[in-house]
């Protein structure tokens, strides 16, 4: 078993780890780096519980080899909040009761973040299709979709108030 030394950035921090080529990024995160917030649900890319953002794109970490991420930047659920300050998405998931057992929640938060990063004002249909790779068996998706749309609204509000504040300063 030859292990390779891989350098990458995880949640903004430079990280080095040793891994065998056959270890997936998911395995590296959970078993090597002890970042167990990213979940294993199927190992075939069908449930989305292991979703992470790799170089700006949401992917299933079960279908990425650890050795493939050399030099890459990875964002996981552990990196969403700044200290104890939750993001709008995390907050609306709590307020809208968008989680029950919670095993799919990290994947949904990551997939939803990826969506809102590129589309700040998605329609319900857009939200549903963007989350199609994430299975939830507890909620029937209703409250999840509402939470994502509510978070989007909050984020737009924050952006417009910060840009109008900026404009105010400039004026």
| Region 69-128 residues binding another protein, contact defined as CB under 8 A | 70, 76-78, 80-81, 86, 90, 93-97, 99-106, 109, 111, 114-115, 125, 127-128
53 and 113 Cβ atoms separated by less than 8 Å: yes
* Closer residue to another protein (CB): 15 or 80: 80
Burial (0-12, 13-18, 19+ Cβ within 10 Å), 133:
middle
| Contact indicator for 112, 150 with CB cutoff of 8 Å | no
Pick the closest to residue 74 from 6, 131, 132 (CA basis): 6
Q: What is the dihedral of CA 10, 16, 20, 22, to 10 degrees?
A: 10
Residue count, binding to another protein (CB under 8 A):
84
- Residue 31 near another protein by CB under 8 A: yes
Per-residue contact flags (x/-) with another protein for residues 152 to 171, judged by CB under 8 A? --------------------
Based on the shown chain and the rule CB under 8 A, indicate whether residue 21 belongs to the binding site for another protein: yes
Sequence-distant (≥ 6) Cβ neighbours of residue 45 within 8 angstroms: 60, 62, 63, 133
> Which CB atom, from 58 or from 74, has the smaller least distance to another protein?
58
- Judge contact between 75 and 8, C-beta under 8 A: no
Quickly tell me which residue has 């973040």 as its tokens.
113
Letters for 38-57 (x = contact with another protein by CB under 8 A, - = none) are xxxxxxxxxxxx-x--x--x
Identify which of residues 100 and 159 has a Cβ nearer to another protein in the complex. Answer: 100
Query: Least separation, in Å, of the C-beta of 170 and another protein?
Result: 34
One residue of 1, 12, 13, 14 binding another protein per CB under 8 A: 1
């Amino acid at each position: 078993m030859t292990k390779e030394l891989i350098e990458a950035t995880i949640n903004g921090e430079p990280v080095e780890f040793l891994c065998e080529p056959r270890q997936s990024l998911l395995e590296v995160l959970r078993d090597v780096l002890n970042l167990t917030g990213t979940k294993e649900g199927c190992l075939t890319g069908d449930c989305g519980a292991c979703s992470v953002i790799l170089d700006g794109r949401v992917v299933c970490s079960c279908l990425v080899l650890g050795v493939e991420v050399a030099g890459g930047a990875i964002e996981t659920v552990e990196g969403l909040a700044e200290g104890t300050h939750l993001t709008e998405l995390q907050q609306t998931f709590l307020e809208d009761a968008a989680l029950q057992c919670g095993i799919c929640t990290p994947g949904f938060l990551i997939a939803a973040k990826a969506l809102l990063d590129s589309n700040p004002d998605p329609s319900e249909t857009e939200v549903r299709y963007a989350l199609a790779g994430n299975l939830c068996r507890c909620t029937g998706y209703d409250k999840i979709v509402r939470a994502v749309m509510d978070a989007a609204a909050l984020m737009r509000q924050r952006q417009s108030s910060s840009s109008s504040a900026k404009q105010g300063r400039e004026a």
